[in-house]
Structure 1
């Protein structure tokens, strides 16, 4: 399955729809995916179950399956989480592909910094594969959860709740993870804020994005 797929986080009877970001390998060699920190439960590893459920292919057709759980959550100045896949599901997510929602999946070949004016596309569970341009970098945001995020980048790519955590690409290069955004109250502009991927990798030695051949 490609990155950019929908998942549901369940804990204590509460559910949250978000999107898987880029597939990666952690320092121990385990298959993981990145996503948004605000999608994860408050405590990670959680005191109770915080299963990640996804619709996955099977011999009998698509099925909703528990594929892993959160291994890390950062929801403050940065916004990212790390999802550890169960060993039986690791081969399903050990690829460098991003869903383009109907067209051919996009292969990730590297990682790059966000640059103003660069073209970008994001893959999200709710609004799909949408594209635009990076309009600002080193942005400070204050989302409704009270966090103060720094070092974010802003784009004019359409996004909405449910797209959080989704991969943001510039051509074949991984650049960030969807953090938030939407349409301003006047309906005049569209904006998306994203967490730069290079900062996530720098904060997690040994973590590497899956690139190259699948």
Structure 2
């Protein structure tokens, strides 16, 4: 078992029909761009956007960020609404390494926001369907509080993994992208940041998130359209 350091709120998912009515707020702002690694707010909760699918116009973050309702940027500008979410992050002090953890939400983006797949540091965040997690491989995480930190995969568990050797995180980084550095200056998506267990930052793998999304909705994650 691994002791848990940061708390997590377990929430239920519900779709909302408010997207069209609220999109006028985005239209009024004009030029609002949604991209991975940006700060998002759901009520009083601050999180990090993990991934943006420019084809389906769906964004991803952690389900424990709230799991329902409207989503804004740091300035309160409307970017979309939560469509689906799941979070079974244990609410205690420890987690078994064989325990399955699901923690994601999908955000239906407002029609008037522009979409980018570029991280704040300039790397294009892409998906490689055959990318595999391996203990010891280099890994990076971007959060709105800690920025980009890099280290290595410490252990691969049941759909989630822990990191060490330089990866750090603070409250507000939840949902942020976890990635390896790919060819041509790209970043290859590997997971969504979940929490910190003991001294080990942890993320739910992108592959496991895709499997859970298919089970919940029948939808699939972006793959070949953003493959490096």
Q: How far apart, in 1, do the equivalents of 2:202 and 2:189 lie?
A: 15
1:85-131 residue CA offsets vs partner (Å, 9 max, x unmatched): 11111xx22x321223xxxx111243322211111111101111111
Retained in 2: the 8 A contact 1:110–1:174? yes
Greater strand share, structure number: 1
Retained in 1: the 8 A contact 2:86–2:105? yes
Query: 5+ residue gaps in structure 2?
Result: 1-32, 89-100, 182-186
Equivalent residue, structure 2, for 1:180: 195
Retained in 2: the 8 A contact 1:98–1:167? no
Q: How far apart, in 2, do the equivalents of 1:175 and 1:154 lie?
A: 12
Q: How far apart, in 2, do the equivalents of 1:82 and 1:99 lie?
A: 21
Q: How far apart, in 2, do the equivalents of 1:206 and 1:151 lie?
A: 17
Equivalent residue, structure 2, for 1:32: 58
Query: 5+ residue gaps in structure 1?
Result: 45-49, 56-62, 139-149, 185-189
Let me know the Cα RMSD of the aligned residues: 2.0
Among candidates 140, 147, 166, match of residue 121 of structure 1 = 140
Taking structure 2 as the reference length, what is the TM-score of the superposition?
0.68
Q: Does 1:164 align with 2:193?
A: no
Greater helix share, structure number: 2
Q: How far apart, in 2, do the equivalents of 1:192 and 1:52 lie?
A: 25
Equivalent residue, structure 1, for 2:46: 17
1:108 partner SS: strand
Q: How far apart, in 2, do the equivalents of 1:110 and 1:66 lie?
A: 26
Equivalent residue, structure 2, for 1:151: 159
Retained in 1: the 8 A contact 2:127–2:222? no
Q: How far apart, in 2, do the equivalents of 1:109 and 1:151 lie?
A: 20
Retained in 2: the 8 A contact 1:8–1:18? yes
Number of aligned positions between the proteins? 168
Equivalent residue, structure 1, for 2:106: 82
